[in-house]
């Protein structure tokens, strides 16, 4: 009897190719809803928004938070697709969990309190595709800074592959962040 080697499904083949991908320095490669997405290094305004949010969280959050701007997360897959592999612009988790310590390059999103995205070269990915992925991963809060629309949106209450609630604030208006953060995010400096 001849044993045939396991043939890769399309999803397995895509994941294997993605994990073997080497990108130029500063570029990010992600696997989102069955598509490999490569993004160039961000501009300074993108990084300034992230820095302002991180500074507020560190100074004002009711719960001490860990932050990572490069942590790869694995999310629940869509049928027929491999598990999503994303790198949020920001990932926040309670410091008491020490979630990032000893974590592999790609880790599950269990324990993550909030992810942050600031729109850049392909804003529809942040607005739609990543939003659905974060909801499938049951990440409680998704904060989206939409530079084209001059708004900040907090998505919450993930269910059935999307967020049921969202609270939008135009740049210049505060946006309440619920527990474990428990403060109003100031957005005036995003203008």
Q: Which domains does the chain have, with CATH numbers?
A: 10-190 (3.90.1570.10)
For the chain, the residue count is 191
Q: What is the pLDDT of residue 5?
A: 57
User: What average pLDDT does range 68-83 have in this prediction?
Assistant: 91
Whether pLDDT at 1 is above 60: no
Residue 84 to residue 41: CA distance in whole angstroms: 21
Torsion of CA 102, 108, 111, 114, to 10 degrees: 110
Residue 100 to residue 94: CA distance in whole angstroms: 10
Residue 52 φ/ψ region, left for φ over 0, alpha for ψ in the -120 to 50 degree band, beta for the rest: alpha
Which DSSP letter does residue 136 get? Answer: H
Whether pLDDT at 6 is above 90: no
The half-sphere exposure of 25 on its side-chain side, counting CA atoms within 13 A, is 0
Whether pLDDT at 4 is above 60: no
Sign of the four-CA dihedral 115, 118, 121, 127 = positive
pLDDT digits over 79-110, tens only? 888 999 999 999 999 999 999 999 999 999 99
User: What average pLDDT does range 164-189 have in this prediction?
Assistant: 98
Whether pLDDT at 72 is above 80: yes
Tokens read off for 48: 């300034």
Whether pLDDT at 161 is above 60: yes
Q: What mean pLDDT is reported for the chain?
A: 94
Could you please report the per-residue DSSP string of 102-113?
Answer: T--SEEE-TT--
User: What average pLDDT does range 160-168 have in this prediction?
Assistant: 97
Whether pLDDT at 2 is above 60: no
User: What average pLDDT does range 111-123 have in this prediction?
Assistant: 96
Query: Above pLDDT 70, what percent of the chain?
Result: 97
Residue 1 to residue 24: CA distance in whole angstroms: 46
Residue 186 to residue 191: CA distance in whole angstroms: 11
Burial class (CB in 10 A: 0-12, 13-18, 19+), 191: exposed
Confidence tier at 20 by pLDDT (50, 70, 90): very high
CB 42 within 8 A of CB 26: no
Confidence tier at 3 by pLDDT (50, 70, 90): very low
């Amino acid at each position: 009897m001849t044993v045939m080697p396991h043939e890769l499904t399309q999803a397995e083949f895509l994941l294997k190719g993605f994990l073997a991908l080497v990108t130029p320095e500063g570029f990010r490669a992600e696997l989102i809803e069955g598509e490999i997405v490569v993004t160039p290094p961000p501009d300074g305004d993108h990084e300034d928004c992230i820095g302002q949010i991180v500074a507020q969280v560190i100074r004002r959050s009711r719960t001490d938070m860990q932050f990572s701007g490069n942590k790869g997360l694995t999310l629940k897959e869509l049928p027929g697709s491999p598990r999503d592999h994303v790198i949020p612009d920001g990932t926040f988790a309670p410091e008491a969990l020490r979630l990032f310590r000893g974590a592999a390059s790609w880790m599950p999103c269990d324990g993550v309190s909030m992810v942050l995205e600031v729109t850049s070269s392909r804003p529809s990915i942040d607005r739609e595709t990543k939003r659905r992925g974060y909801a499938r991963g049951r990440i409680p809060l998704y904060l989206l800074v939409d530079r084209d629309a001059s708004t900040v949106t907090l998505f919450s209450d993930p269910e059935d592959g999307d967020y049921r609630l969202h609270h939008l604030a135009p740049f210049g208006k505060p946006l309440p962040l619920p527990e474990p953060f428990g403060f109003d995010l100031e957005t005036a400096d995003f203008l």
